[in-house]
């Protein structure tokens, strides 16, 4: 079969067939009387083998080794090709994500495109300082797609950068709330914590509703952060979790402060004091913390509890209650 016929049947151009011959991949031994190359059935079969291996991403040099070296083992090469393919897909996916985010920013001109690109590069920088500057600039200079800010906030480990990202998201109001709420169900515990802390800084009714739902989250860290945020917003539903935090010595000082803020509502003050008293059957150290938490809870229920605790069998608890009562008597604590 002449080269033109082979090209038509195989789909490989005559020029490429000559290139294969020059590299020694195909060596048609026969010639016609006029001196033209004549390909045998074995030559054509080898051409199809070459094309099959090329379709896997092998270079022509690797194809030659695969076909001619009896000791050639494909395993390592195939694994290397798979790795290269994964890297290429990851790079293309990153590029697609960047392009989609630039489009979402709706730039009016190339100057804005360049600003968005610079901010996206800043958020992905290895320098914490550069990431922080990008987060702080994301609101005023060239608004970034909220998806990029949320992704950065949920993956950021540097506390200063994380704070800047939470601030930037808070400026967007409910813009990133849906994505952040999805983060509450992430497999990674650190991502869930970053999500709830970001939501806690969004001062909207919708964010408060998400925090309320987070009180039943399976992750105790999410529940605790939600309770602290709700306590600052007057959410009485956070009281049980806040008291649990005091008993369990988990951010107990912050929890006591949140209870104190809630107790500024006279309707809640006695309920909070009664709930604290109900937990006084806990172990000694916890009883001490519960007694201290009563210090800033106004009302007769807290005062009556402290009077009884001043005579408690646990000397440390009794001394703490006595001291608190003295402070309250002199105006140094809640009445």
Q: In the chain, how many H helices and how many E strands?
A: 19, 2
Is residue 335 predicted with pLDDT exceeding 60? no
What mean pLDDT do residues 202-229 have?
Answer: 96
What does the pLDDT average to over 227-243? 95
First to last CA, the chain: 105
Sign of CA dihedral 72, 77, 79, 81: negative
Phi, psi of 31 (to 5 degrees): -135, 150
Q: What average pLDDT score do residues 182-192 get?
A: 96
214 vs 334 pLDDT, higher one: 214
pLDDT of 139 > 80? The answer is no
- At residue 264, the pLDDT reads 92
Q: What is the mean pLDDT of the chain?
A: 88
**Residues 73, 80 contacting (CB under 8 angstroms):** no
Other CB atoms within a 10 A radius of the CB of residue 160 amount to 13
Structure-model confidence comparison of residues 280 and 33, the more confident one: 280
Q: What is the pLDDT of residue 102?
A: 66
**Residue closest to 149 by CA, chosen among 127, 128, 126, 177:** 177
Helix (H/G/I), strand (E/B), else coil: 58: coil
| pLDDT value, residue 143 | 64
For residue range 172-181, list pLDDT tens digits in order: 899 899 999 9
Give burial (CB, 10 Å; 0-12/13-18/19+) of 12: buried
Q: Is the pLDDT of residue 154 over 60?
A: yes
Residue range 318-327, pLDDT digits in tens:
999 999 999 9
| Whether residue 85 has pLDDT greater than 90 | no
Return the SS3 of 332.
coil
Q: What angle do CA 159, 165, 168 make, to 5 degrees?
A: 145
pTM: 0.69
What does the pLDDT read at residue 223? 97
Evaluate if residue 71 carries a pLDDT over 80: no
Percent pLDDT > 90 in the chain is 52
Q: Between vectors from CA 106 to CA 156 and to CA 167, what angle results, nearest 5°?
A: 30
Tokens of 182: 């999805």
Tell me: the pLDDT tens digits for 256-278? 999 999 999 988 999 999 999 99
């Amino acid at each position: 079969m002449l080269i033109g016929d082979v090209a038509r049947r195989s789909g490989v151009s005559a020029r490429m067939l000559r290139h294969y011959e020059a590299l020694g991949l195909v060596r048609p031994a026969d010639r016609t009387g006029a001196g033209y190359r004549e390909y045998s059935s074995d030559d054509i079969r080898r051409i199809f083998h070459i094309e099959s291996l090329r379709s896997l991403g092998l270079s022509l040099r690797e194809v030659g080794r695969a076909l001619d070296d009896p000791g050639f083992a494909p395993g390592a090469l195939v694994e290397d090709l798979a790795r290269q393919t994964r890297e290429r897909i990851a790079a293309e996916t990153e590029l697609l994500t960047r392009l989609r985010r630039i489009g979402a920013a709706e730039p009016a001109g190339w100057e804005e495109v360049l600003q968005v690109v610079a901010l996206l590069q800043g958020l992905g920088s290895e320098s914490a300082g550069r990431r922080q500057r990008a987060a702080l600039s994301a609101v005023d200079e060239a608004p970034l797609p909220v998806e990029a800010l949320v992704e950065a906030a949920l993956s950021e480990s540097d506390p200063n950068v994380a704070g800047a990202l939470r601030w930037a998201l808070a400026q967007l109001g409910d813009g990133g709330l849906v994505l952040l709420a999805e983060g509450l169900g992430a497999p990674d515990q650190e991502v869930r914590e970053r999500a709830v802390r970001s939501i806690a800084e969004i001062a909207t009714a919708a964010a408060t509703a998400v925090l309320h739902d987070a009180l039943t989250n399976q992750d105790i860290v999410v529940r605790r952060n939600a309770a602290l945020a709700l306590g600052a917003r007057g959410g009485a539903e956070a009281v049980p979790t806040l008291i649990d935090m005091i008993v369990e010595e988990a951010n107990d000082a912050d929890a006591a402060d949140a209870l104190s803020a809630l107790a500024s509502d006279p309707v809640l003050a006695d309920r909070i004091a009664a709930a604290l008293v109900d937990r006084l059957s806990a172990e000694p150290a916890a009883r001490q913390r519960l007694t201290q938490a009563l210090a800033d809870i106004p009302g007769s229920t807290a005062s009556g509890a402290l009077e009884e605790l001043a005579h408690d069998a646990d000397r440390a608890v009794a001394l703490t209650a006595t001291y608190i009562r003295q402070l309250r008597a002199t105006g140094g604590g809640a009445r």
